[in-house]
Amino acid sequence: METHSATLFLLGASHHTAPLAIREKIALDESRASALAAFLGSTPGVQEFALLNTCNRVEIYGVARTPDTLLTLRAGFCETTGCTLSELDAACFQRHNHDTVAHLFAVASGLDSQIIGETEILGQVKDAYDNALAHKWTGPVLNRVFQKTFQAAKHIRTHTGIGFGQISVATVAVDLAGRIFGDLSSTRVLVVGAGQIGLKAAQAFQSRGAASITVASRTLAKAGEAAALSGGWAMSLADLPEAVAGADIIASSTSSPDFVLTAEMIAASMKRRPARPLFLIDLALPRDVEPVAAQLANVFLYNLDDLAGIAEENLAQREAEVAKCRAILAQRTAALWPQVAQSLNQRRHA
Amino acid sequence: MLSLLNDRALLWVGALFYLAGFITGLVALTRRKAPAGLRPVLNTFLVIGWVVQMTGLYVRGIAVGGCPLGNKFEIVQFVAWSAMVLYFFVGTAFRMSVLGLFTAGYAATLALISLLIPTWDLVRGAKIFGQNPWIELHAALAVFSYGVFGLLALTSLMHLLQNWSLKHKRLNGLFWFLPSVVQLGEINYRLLALGVLLLTFSLGVGAAWWVRDTNSVDYPKLIVTLGVWAVYTTMLFFRWRAWLVSVRFAWVCLLMFFIALFSLGPVNSSRHHEVVLTPES
């Protein structure tokens, strides 16, 4: 009788393979995730498994006694999510053994993410593993693979530039604020205009611990709504000159055809706080801040093009690091695989 | 073996360690992402350089029977040593040891220039402190305050670079590792206050002895020293009142240090008695 080693497998779908409509269909809410886990746990031949479930991917990592087990899993996956087998075939991908390790390393390191180098995915992989460990779904093979994955991801983060810089307009602005003020916990943020982009900037500053956030809009009601969403205060645009003097960071995104913040207004406010820098973020088109204000001492003005340019530059630098990261991960995968293969062989006979 | 313990040889070794630290830091920081171990490596070079330099100054001090501040060479070496002491106190606040890089370059430059100009060390004042420990303290504090002003010039340079990078949207490379504008502004203010305090105390000690013998100090030295003190004190007052801030403050700190450094010439040349040292073989 022919004997095989157990198989380390991955069955999943991600933003690379599945369009949004399919991802929505196969997304696992809590009850679906529990149902799928129950199915996996009761499937004969599935010795270990872990579920990684994020907004961009659903992936099942596991150890199967025989390759045929995967066919059963595909059927169960369809049953749980309600998608057809043909939809699953179009959207899903499978990896086996060495390639599964390589894929998990790349995912945890942020190389497979929609935003290359993002760090949130590592936390999500850790959560998935912790959940599997707590439910005793994992065993010697997956435990080893996941532990080595975390080490590899940490190494990539520490020794390469994959996480270099920020790559969205709002986070680039927050990053720049850090270069001007250092710790943002004592900075006062003024958001002029209650639009979506201004709100995103306000929320980004709030998440970095800005001391206060004030939203100014033509109508106080609109300002109030935006302020409530960003944990700040609302004010009318009529009080703008006074508010400018008290702010450290001003993000402006009104639809006004004229300059909302004139150089004269900013110069007057700087006279009242000469030692404190002022960071102006002009997110509006047409622009809200008179460009000549950039020439004032201690005033730093960035418009949409500037921020987008920095984001693109950072993204290009991250992409330039991908090849280096892949080479490092390939080495680590090659070093780990013989140990995993040995464990799989033992699992076959267990 | 004994020749290896020659004071100038030790000072050469110390200067070369500073230079090695500077080159190591520069190479690491010009890469996109500095290695995590940069700070310990850089600090190891600087600590070794500083200990060796201090040993060299100690050997010189034993040989001359007092604080080694008898000529331009010794003063410049002491200024470099003082800057390094201050870096060890305040440098930990700076990320990626970028202040260490600047201080290493600064100390290496001062130490190497002083070593490469033999005439600075050919003569030195004979018994310049008249066996008076208070005068010795006055001189040591005065030169130490120059070390503070030197470090202030470095942090001011960093402030100007950071300001330029933010104004011109050139944010990568070395600029990535510079501290924030606000942090640099605060450290500049504190360094200026510390330097003025030390220089004021030094001049106070010197003045207490000068009034007993007004001929003991030449007028050029007196005027230059008081001039340097007056300008730095005025700067501190202007900064406190927020009349001199940000880039202008940084420029003034930088330029003033060069003026103060050149003032060491008249201060040092006004000694009454000098002895010629045997040139280094």
Which pLDDT tens digit goes with each residue over A208-218?
899 999 999 88
Q: Which residue has the tokens 């992936």?
A: A59
B280 band by pLDDT with thresholds 50, 70 and 90? very low
Instruction: Please provide the distance, in angstroms rounded to a whole number, between the alpha carbons at the two ends of chain B.
Output: 15
The reported pLDDT for the residue numbered B3 is 47
What does the block give as tokens for B97?
A: 């040891």
Write the CB contacts of B102 (distance below 8 Å, at least 6 apart in sequence): B154, B155, B157, B158
Q: Which domain range does residue A55 map to?
A: 7-159
- Specify whether A155 is located in the same domain as A274: no
Cα–Cα distance for residue pair B217/B201, rounded to 1 Å? 17
The reported pLDDT for the residue numbered B93 is 59
Least confident window among A112-121, A173-182, A260-269, B272-281: B272-281
A306 reaches B (C-beta below 8 A) = yes
Q: Domain ends where: A159, A177, A210?
A: A159
Residue A152 lies in a domain: yes
Q: Domain ends where: A100, A134, A159?
A: A159
- Specify whether A282 is located in the same domain as A236: yes
**Helical spans, DSSP H, in chain B:** 7-30, 38-64, 72-90, 98-116, 133-167, 181-210, 219-240, 246-269
User: Which B residues, 155 through 194, put their C-beta within 8 Å of a C-beta on chain A?
Assistant: 162, 166-167, 169, 171-172, 178-183, 185
Residue B7 lies in a domain: yes
For residues A330-334, give the mean pLDDT. Answer: 96
The reported pLDDT for the residue numbered B266 is 67
- Specify whether A208 is located in the same domain as A142: no
Q: Determine the length of chain B.
A: 281
Write the CB contacts of B79 (distance below 8 Å, at least 6 apart in sequence): B110, B143, B146, B147, B150, B261
Residue B110 lies in a domain: yes
Residue B34 lies in a domain: yes
Range with top average pLDDT, A233-247, A288-302, B166-180: A288-302
Residue A38 lies in a domain: yes
- Specify whether A20 is located in the same domain as A90: yes
Based on the number of CB atoms within 10 Å of its own CB, is B212 exposed (0-12), middle (13-18) or buried (19 or more)? exposed
More confident residue, B2 or A61: A61
Write the CB contacts of A264 (distance below 8 Å, at least 6 apart in sequence): none
Q: Which domain range does residue B181 map to?
A: 2-275
- Specify whether A146 is located in the same domain as A18: yes
Residue A45 lies in a domain: yes
> Out of A55, A78, A92, A325, which one is annotated catalytic?
A55
**pTM for the full model?**
0.71
> Is there a contact between A275 and B245 if contact means CB atoms under 8 Å apart?
yes
Residue pair A306/A320 in contact (Cβ under 8 Å)? The answer is: no
Residue pair A253/A286 in contact (Cβ under 8 Å)? The answer is: no
B281 band by pLDDT with thresholds 50, 70 and 90? very low
- Specify whether A29 is located in the same domain as A141: yes
Per-residue HEC secondary structure of A317-348 comes to HHHHHHHHHHHHHHHHHHHHHHHHHHHHHHHH
- Specify whether A19 is located in the same domain as A118: yes
The reported pLDDT for the residue numbered B96 is 47
A176 reaches B (C-beta below 8 A) = yes
Cα–Cα distance for residue pair A26/A83, rounded to 1 Å? 7
Domain tally for chain A?
2
> Is there a contact between A275 and B247 if contact means CB atoms under 8 Å apart?
no
Q: Which of A180, A273, A303 to substitute to test the interface with B, most B CBs within 10 Å? A: A180
Least confident window among B26-35, B146-155, B165-174: B26-35
List the one residue out of A97, A108, A58, A15 whose CA is nearest residue A328. Answer: A108
Angle at Cα A341 formed by Cα A337 and Cα A346, nearest 5°? 150
- Specify whether A14 is located in the same domain as A152: yes
- Specify whether A173 is located in the same domain as A252: yes
Residue A1 lies in a domain: no
Residue B280 lies in a domain: no
Residue A149 lies in a domain: yes
The reported pLDDT for the residue numbered A85 is 84
Min distance B11 CA to chain A CA atoms (Å): 36
Q: In which element (H, E) is residue A129 found?
A: helix A120-134
Min distance A158 CA to chain B CA atoms (Å): 7
Residue of A nearest to B94 (CA): A182
Residue B266 lies in a domain: yes
Residues of B in contact with A317 (CB under 8 A): 32, 172
What does the block give as tokens for A54?
A: 């994020």
Residue A347 lies in a domain: no
Residue A322 lies in a domain: no
- Specify whether A136 is located in the same domain as A47: yes
Q: Name the CA radius of gyration of chain A, rounded.
A: 26
Three-state SS at A11: strand
Cα–Cα distance for residue pair A188/B23, rounded to 1 Å? 40
Residue A155 lies in a domain: yes
The reported pLDDT for the residue numbered A25 is 81
Residue B233 pLDDT greater than 60, yes or no: yes
Residue pair A231/A266 in contact (Cβ under 8 Å)? The answer is: no
Residue B234 pLDDT greater than 90, yes or no: yes
Residue pair A141/B12 in contact (Cβ under 8 Å)? The answer is: no
Domain tally for chain B?
1
Q: In which element (H, E) is residue A122 found?
A: helix A120-134
- Specify whether A186 is located in the same domain as A135: no
Q: In the annotation, is A78 catalytic? A: no
- Specify whether A125 is located in the same domain as A225: no
A18 band by pLDDT with thresholds 50, 70 and 90? confident
Residue of A nearest to B185 (CA): A275
Residue A255 pLDDT greater than 70, yes or no: yes
Three-state SS at A301: strand
Residue B206 lies in a domain: yes
Residue A294 maps to which CATH number? 3.40.50.720
What does the block give as tokens for B204?
A: 């106070």
